[in-house]
Amino acid sequence: MKTSNPHARQALLGLAAALWLLLLAAPSFAGGAVPDAELAITGELRAGTPVRAFFDLKGYVLPSGAYASVNVRFTKRPDGPEPRVRTGYPETLLTFPGPGDYAMVFILNEVSKPSCGGVNAKTLLEKEVKLRIAE
């Protein structure tokens, strides 16, 4: 059926443009961080004692075929040996070799492989954490 009414066609185009703008403005984590995601640090903040970093994505489930990749980047730490980090999801373990002030950035990515090759990575959570480790 062909519409010859220019006002109807103009109204449809206006409605389509409004819907497109709503889609662009709608909150979504399809291309970014999960809303309200949290990172909890637990354990005794003492040198040589493992500390747990637990990721809580508030119900978000990784799609079938995707996996989680955790990166921990230290932006500040005392001189000496680097902390030991055993990355994992939903829990990463850190052991600090000595006392002092540490700052690190935790980055949790969802990684998947599309059928056409390459990989897709989507950041689900990125958070800076500062800790003071005791003797």
> pLDDT per residue over 68-120, tens digit each?
999 999 999 999 999 999 999 999 999 999 999 999 999 999 999 887 788 88
Higher per-residue confidence, 94 vs 12: 94
- Phi and psi, residue 23, nearest 5°: -65, -40
Tell me which residue has tokens 């994992």: 88
| CATH code 2.60.40 for 38-133 | yes
What whole-number distance in Å separates Cα of residue 105 and Cα of residue 103? 7
Name the residue among 92, 84, 96, 103 with its Cα closest to residue 49. 96
Chain centroid to CA 111? 11
What whole-number distance in Å separates Cα of residue 39 and Cα of residue 52? 10
- Tell me the average pLDDT across 43-69: 94
Domain boundaries, the chain: 38-133
- Phi and psi, residue 72, nearest 5°: -125, 120
Higher per-residue confidence, 67 vs 8: 67
> Is the pLDDT reported for residue 133 higher than 50?
yes
Whether the predicted model's global pTM rises above the 0.85 cut? no
Residue % of the chain over a pLDDT of 90? 65
Name the residue among 80, 75, 76, 69 with its Cα closest to residue 109. 69
Length in residues, the chain: 135
> In three state form, how does the secondary structure of 68-102 look?
EEEEEEEEECCCCCCCEEECCCCEEEEECCCCEEE
Element (H, E) at 26: none
The band of 56, judged by pLDDT with boundaries at 50, 70 and 90, is very high
